[in-house]
Amino acid sequence: MKKGLLIILSGPSGVGKGTLRKHIIKDRSLNLVYSISMTTRAPRNREVDGVDYYFVSKEEFQRNIDRDNFLEHAEFVGNRYGTPKSYVEDLRNQGKNVFLEIEIKGATQVMNKVKDDGVVSIFLVPPSLEALEARIRKRKTESDEVIKERLAKGKSEMNQSSNYQYVVVNDRVKRASNEIIKIIKERIKQNEEK
């Protein structure tokens, strides 16, 4: 059986990675499995443990680092986030295409670590900085201070796109999702023809 792809969707904070991911995952023909991350962040309103994230204590997160359980991990605005390593590998070995939606430092770690040609790296950008700011403010899930921090971070992260195989502009959810779906379909085809 062919090893599945490892699809990395990254981009500045607030660009809308999560929204696109939810659309893309619904396309059954892509054979995607979303890699659920571990985080020390508290759950937001409707988030469910084991669905959106594995919500863990700082101690438990550290234990997972010590045991080398993460493919990558990073701190983001005061919280830690990590991708469980064995889960990703097992699923890829079962032929599933694994989908990571992660911030930029973590994405860089994965791209440096996983060198096989099944890696598909996609950088999502907003149509403009104003659009990014509007999105972050609209979310209303964080305090003013956290919003400001996320915004500053998002702006400084915009110039990272050259490390990625694909850059997609998130102008409209449907259009951008379709562009990413098309990229994934092409790469699935190439992977099968190998």
Q: How far is the CB of 130 from ligand 5GP (least distance, A)?
A: 20
43 secondary structure, DSSP code: P
Under rule CB under 6 A, residue 157 binds ligand 5GP: no
Please state, in angstroms and rounded to a whole number, the distance separating the CA atoms of residues 17 and 102: 8
143 secondary structure, DSSP code: -
Contact by Cβ (8 Å): 161, 123: yes
Under rule CB under 6 A, residue 82 binds ligand 5GP: yes
Please state, in angstroms and rounded to a whole number, the distance separating the CA atoms of residues 134 and 160: 21
Which residue is at the shortest CB distance from ligand 5GP?
Answer: 106
* Contact pattern for ligand 5GP over residues 9 through 28, marking x by CB under 6 A: ----x---x-----------
Which residue do the tokens 């995607």 mark?
32
How many chain residues touch ligand 5GP (CB under 6 A)? 14
Helix (H, G, I), strand (E, B) or coil at 2: coil
57 phi and psi, to 5 degrees?
Answer: -75, 165
Q: Please say which residue, 173 or 190, places its beta carbon nearer to ligand 5GP.
A: 173
Q: How far is the CB of 46 from ligand 5GP (least distance, A)?
A: 13
70-76, strands of its sheet edge to edge:
54-55, 38-39, 79-84, 70-76
Q: Please say which residue, 166 or 191, places its beta carbon nearer to ligand 5GP.
A: 166
* Contact pattern for ligand 5GP over residues 83 through 102, marking x by CB under 6 A: x-----------------xx
| Binding positions for ligand 5GP, 41-70, rule CB under 6 A | 41
Under rule CB under 6 A, residue 103 binds ligand 5GP: yes
Alpha helices in 26-116 (DSSP H): 58-66, 85-93, 104-113
Q: Which residues bind ligand 5GP (CB under 6 A)?
A: 13, 17, 37, 41, 72, 74, 76, 81-83, 101-103, 106
